């Protein structure tokens, strides 16, 4: 009986080593493995929110540029980091060694300041957020804590730790701050009118960033990014809801799709293009804020139509308001319904950005078109179902 238990324990140890090897690829170090005397002549970046969509793209970009990255996640578990590791699997093995994950929460001031003090990065990217607008109506206090106070935590820590003002800071601001704007397109001078607890919290973080830049001469920038998507987009956002559902319908795993406001219009770009702008903002002579957008606008309805086109279905629309349905033109099958449970208490109807400043000063421009973006996301979701 004793040897049975001993064999079981050995089996568990071997299995956990195996699982660790699969998910962590044996390449990712955790904090305790770091040799503090290791000499590093490459740039050092701390990335808060490394496991999110933008975190994945930014990590790949920075690793390929030779950066050493300390990436912060609240949970460095296999399930939470799998997406990131999968995405960087084709990065050169030696460069990948430069990624170190740390467990931490942006709302924890001692963690944030200790991390900055310990690693003294050249650049800090704050991508961490409760980033769902819909969820922010249900969790307004949590959203404010993470998105506004969390940002302030970094700024306060940088100010107290970095006397020489060497660290450069990127804040993930958002077009949601424009909300119910009357000015189209929106640029760096457009007044704010946020329409959600998320927008309000992000406006606070935006102004905190500017305040620290002006008060203490810090290199701190806001990237006012318009919606950007990719195969790594979170599953709670409308583009991914659409591409996942359309893929399931194609595979016979779903019969229809329910959505909220079909008439909302957004300026949708590709996340891979947008992280380049983040990096560029931190390589300038002086810190400034930039709108990052495509300058093109499309409705949720158009996104749905294009997504169905990708699987060979033409959609026609019948009815109005909550009774509107999207129908397969050929078969007459009802494929899209409107469900008011997805409506927001206050909606942002129309956003379109003017990226002229980024184009002129950063020499940045988006590369992936709206149609290519939809195609890329559908292809990925169909592949995931195989």
Q: What's the burial of 59, exposed, middle or buried (CB within 10 Å: 0-12/13-18/19+)?
A: buried
80 binds, among ligand GDD, ligand NAP, none (CB under 5 to 8 A by kind): ligand NAP
Give the residue, chosen from 66, 191, 234, 319, that forms a contact with ligand NAP under the rule CB under 6 A: 234
For ligand NAP, give the closer residue by CB, 40 or 141: 141
73 counts as binding ligand NAP under rule CB under 6 A = yes
157 counts as binding ligand NAP under rule CB under 6 A = no
106 counts as binding ligand NAP under rule CB under 6 A = yes
Q: What's the burial of 290, exposed, middle or buried (CB within 10 Å: 0-12/13-18/19+)?
A: buried
Give the residue, chosen from 44, 46, 52, 101, that forms a contact with ligand NAP under the rule CB under 6 A: 52
- For ligand GDD, the binding residues (CB under 6 A) are 131, 133-134, 174-176, 226-227, 236-239, 241, 259-261, 264, 266, 300, 342, 344, 347-348
107 binds, among ligand NAP, ligand GDD, none (CB under 5 to 8 A by kind): ligand NAP
- At its nearest, how many Å lie between ligand GDD and the CB of residue 135? 9
For ligand GDD, give the closer residue by CB, 96 or 228: 228
Q: What's the burial of 138, exposed, middle or buried (CB within 10 Å: 0-12/13-18/19+)?
A: exposed
Of 59, 47, 121, 124, which is closest to residue 96 (Cα–Cα)? Answer: 59
SS3 47: strand
CA distances in angstroms from 377 to 60, 70, 357, listed in the order given: 19, 29, 29
53 binds, among ligand NAP, ligand GDD, none (CB under 5 to 8 A by kind): ligand NAP
Give the residue, chosen from 69, 95, 128, 148, that forms a contact with ligand NAP under the rule CB under 6 A: 128
Helix pair 53-64, 78-87: axis angle to 10 deg: 50
227 counts as binding ligand NAP under rule CB under 6 A = yes
Asked if residue 207 lies in contact with residue 147, where contact means CB atoms within 8 angstroms, the answer is no
CA distances in angstroms from 285 to 8, 24, 106, listed in the order given: 60, 38, 28
For ligand NAP, give the closer residue by CB, 140 or 309: 140
136 counts as binding ligand NAP under rule CB under 6 A = no
d(CA 222, CA 205): 9
Structure tokens at 201: 């919290």
Q: What's the burial of 139, exposed, middle or buried (CB within 10 Å: 0-12/13-18/19+)?
A: middle
Give the residue, chosen from 29, 43, 74, 359, that forms a contact with ligand NAP under the rule CB under 6 A: 74
Which residues are identified as catalytic? 174, 176, 198
Distance of CA 324 to the CA centre of its chain: 31
- At its nearest, how many Å lie between ligand NAP and the CB of residue 384? 17
Under the rule (CB under 6 A), what is the footprint of ligand NAP?
A: 48-49, 51-55, 72-75, 80, 105-107, 127-131, 146, 150, 172, 174, 225, 227-228, 234
């Amino acid at each position: 009986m004793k040897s049975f238990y001993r064999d079981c324990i050995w089996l568990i140890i071997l299995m956990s080593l195996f699982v660790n090897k699969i998910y962590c690829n044996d390449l990712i170090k955790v904090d305790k493995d770091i040799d503090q005397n290791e000499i590093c002549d490459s740039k050092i970046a701390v990335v808060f929110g490394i496991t999110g969509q933008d975190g994945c793209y930014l990590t790949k970009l920075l690793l390929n540029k030779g950066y050493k990255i300390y990436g912060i996640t609240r949970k460095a578990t296999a399930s939470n980091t799998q997406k990131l590791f999968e995405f960087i699997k084709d990065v050169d093995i030696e460069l990948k060694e430069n990624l170190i994950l740390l467990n931490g929460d942006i709302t924890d001031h001692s963690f944030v300041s200790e991390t900055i003090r310990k690693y003294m990065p050249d650049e800090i990217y704050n991508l961490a957020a409760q980033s769902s607008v819909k969820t922010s109506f249900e969790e307004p206090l949590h959203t404010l804590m993470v998105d506004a106070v969390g940002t302030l935590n970094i700024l306060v820590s940088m100010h107290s730790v970095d006397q020489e003002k060497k660290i450069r800071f990127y804040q993930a601001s958002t077009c949601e701050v424009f909300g119910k704007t009357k000015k189209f397109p929106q640029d760096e001078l457009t007044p704010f009118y946020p329409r959600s607890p998320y927008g309000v919290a992000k406006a606070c973080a935006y102004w905190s960033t500017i305040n620290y830049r002006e008060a203490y001469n810090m290199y701190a920038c806001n990237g006012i990014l318009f919606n950007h998507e990719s195969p790594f987009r979170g599953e709670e956002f409308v583009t991914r809801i659409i591409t996942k559902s359309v893929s399931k319908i194609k595979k016979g795993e779903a019969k229809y799709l329910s959505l909220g406001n079909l008439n909302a219009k957004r300026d949708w770009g590709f996340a891979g293009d947008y992280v380049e702008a983040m990096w560029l903002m931190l390589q300038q002579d002086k810190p400034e804020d930039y709108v990052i957008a495509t300058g093109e606008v499309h409705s949720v309805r158009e996104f749905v139509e294009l997504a169905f086109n990708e699987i060979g279905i033409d959609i026609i629309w019948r009815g109005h308001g909550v009774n509107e349905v999207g129908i397969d033109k050929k078969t007459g099958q009802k494929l899209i319904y409107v469900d008011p449970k997805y409506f927001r208490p206050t909606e942002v109807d129309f956003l379109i950005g003017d990226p002229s400043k980024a184009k002129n000063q950063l020499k940045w421009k988006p590369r992936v078109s709206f149609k290519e973006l939809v195609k890329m996301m559908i292809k990925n979701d169909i592949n995931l179902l195989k």
